[in-house]
Amino acid sequence: MTDFARTRAMFDLPDGVIYLDGNSLGPLPRAAKDRVARAIADEWGQMLITGWNKAGWMDLPARVGDRVGRLIGAAPGTVVMGDTLSIKVYQALASALELRPDRRVILSDTGNFPSDLYMAEGLCRTLGPDYVLKTVAPEAVEDAIDDTVAVLMLTEVDYRTGRKHDMANLIARAHAAGALVVWDLAHSAGAIPVDLAGADTDFAVGCSYKYLNSGPGGPAFIYVAPRLADHVRPALSGWLGHEAPFAFDLDYRPGAGIERMRVGTPPVLQLAALDAALDVWDSVDMSDLRARSLELQGIFIERVEAACPMLSLATPRDPAQRGSQVSFRHTQGYAIMQALIAEGVIGDFRAPDILRFGFTPLYLSPEDVTRAADILCDIMATGRWDRPDYHARSKVT
């Protein structure tokens, strides 16, 4: 059994805060502080340029990628870190489209994270007027898969509602129609069990700063199925994806397998933070994590619904259809969330009316969640969210 008291002790959390926003930015793992300090003082400071070899910086994207891969059912050598999630979406989509040269449609849903849709839009414009991004409602995706679809691009867990797609089923449907799939695991990696290889995924991408706790702006990851990796021609053909980067050839030749999805110089300090953050996961069993997450979600939903009838559940009631977050709707959601944050319960707000709460067993207990629900319901009962300063919007919501 995973010892969640032990994982809790591996994080630095501010006193008096119940943090229900680890689905947006994970908190600080204690080990990350020292690891980055060492990367700066002992590696960068002392090794200087030789750190690329001596400190293993050049291998970090693949080595750390393997550690992330273990959490998402990906074999060693099939995941590599780098860039941002948006860039990785572009890479995966461009590669997938090139593998289906006779098709022109990217199919996605309106619950996808907007940046994924924007990147697809930009790629379609670059590819030419025949290419289209088609979006349908999340529940209409399955029926919209037909033999015009080149790529099905979905985020497994909806960033607003927490609704989880049935990945294995949709992959089977897409493959039966001759389409490839690109899965965004932003709200899956470290949140729920994922079995990329078992589900026969083609491409997957994700970020590391949410449930994997790599810190603000940590690097993204990309997975390519081993059966495809050597056939992919990267559109973003950067030198570190070259077969021999330090030969400085004038022509691009893709590197072996997943290495070709690297682009430019890796962000060593952010990778060091992620590498340390992944230590927490060494003792975690993903099915224990899932059970604990659903337990925490259940407590929260039950308690809030019992005491706050003015909040309506936006997340599916069936636990099997949920990720690791719970959302409620309220037209005054923004102000309510500001009041909650002011009282030490940090969740976040997503326009137009979503109060979003992430459940992260690594550092949240049933007692934390009970207390958070009670504070929320008290704020609602007393109406103390209705203050002018709570209505004033800040830049980042």
What own/partner pairs with CB < 8 Å and gap ≥ 24 does 168-172 have? Answer: 168/198, 168/199, 169/142, 170/141, 170/142, 170/145, 171/199, 171/200, 171/201, 172/200
113 belongs to an annotated ligand binding site: yes
Whether 184 is catalytic:
yes
Candidates 23-31, 137-145, 277-285, 376-384; binding stretch for its own copies (CB under 8 A): 23-31
Q: How far is CA 284 from CA 168, 274, 292, in A?
A: 24, 16, 11
Q: Which residues in 280-299 contact its own copies (CB under 8 A)? A: none
Please, are residues 275 and 60 in contact by the beta-carbon 8 Å criterion?
A: yes
Q: Which residue in the list 4, 19, 90, 209 is annotated as catalytic? A: 209
Q: Which residues in 36-55 contact its own copies (CB under 8 A)? A: 36-37, 40-41, 43-46, 48-53
CA distance linking residue 138 with residue 161, whole number of Å: 11
Q: 220 or 362, CB closer to its own copies?
A: 220
Whether 210 is catalytic:
yes
Residue 206 binding its own copies, by CB under 8 A: no
Report the residue from 16, 101, 114, 198 that binds its own copies according to the rule CB under 8 A: 114
166 belongs to an annotated ligand binding site: no
86 belongs to an annotated ligand binding site: yes
Report the residue from 64, 68, 92, 117 that binds its own copies according to the rule CB under 8 A: 117
Residue 333 binding its own copies, by CB under 8 A: no
Q: Which residues in 124-143 contact its own copies (CB under 8 A)? A: 125-128, 135
Strand segments (E) across the chain: 11-12, 18-19, 28-29, 79-81, 105-109, 132-136, 149-155, 180-184, 203-207, 220-224, 312-313, 325-329, 345-346, 348-350, 354-358
Residue-wise DSSP of 329-362: E-TTHHHHHHHHHHTTEE-EEETTTEEEEE--TT
Q: How many residues bind its own copies (CB under 8 A)?
A: 94
**Least distance between its own copies and beta carbon 54 (Å):** 9
Residues 6+ apart with CB under 8 A from 170: 141, 142, 145, 152, 154, 181
15 belongs to an annotated ligand binding site: no
248 belongs to an annotated ligand binding site: no
If you count them, how many residues does the chain have? 397
Residue 107 binding its own copies, by CB under 8 A: no
Q: Which residues in 209-248 contact its own copies (CB under 8 A)? A: 209, 215-220, 233-240, 242, 246-248
**Least distance between its own copies and beta carbon 35 (Å):** 10
Residue type, 205: V
Supply the Cα-derived Rg of the chain in whole angstroms.
22
In sequence order, what are the beta bridge partners of 79? 223
Whether 356 is catalytic:
yes
| Contact string (CB under 8 A) for its own copies, positions 338-357, x = contact | ---x----x-x-xx------
Residue 255 binding its own copies, by CB under 8 A: no
Q: Which residue in the list 113, 223, 328, 334 is annotated as catalytic? A: 113
Does a cis peptide bond (omega within 30 degrees of 0) precede residue 352? yes
Whether 209 is catalytic:
yes
330 belongs to an annotated ligand binding site: no
Question: Could you give the residue numbers annotated as active site?
Answer: 113, 184, 209-210, 356
- Binding residue positions for pyridoxal 5'-phosphate: 85-86, 113-116, 155, 184, 187, 209, 239, 265
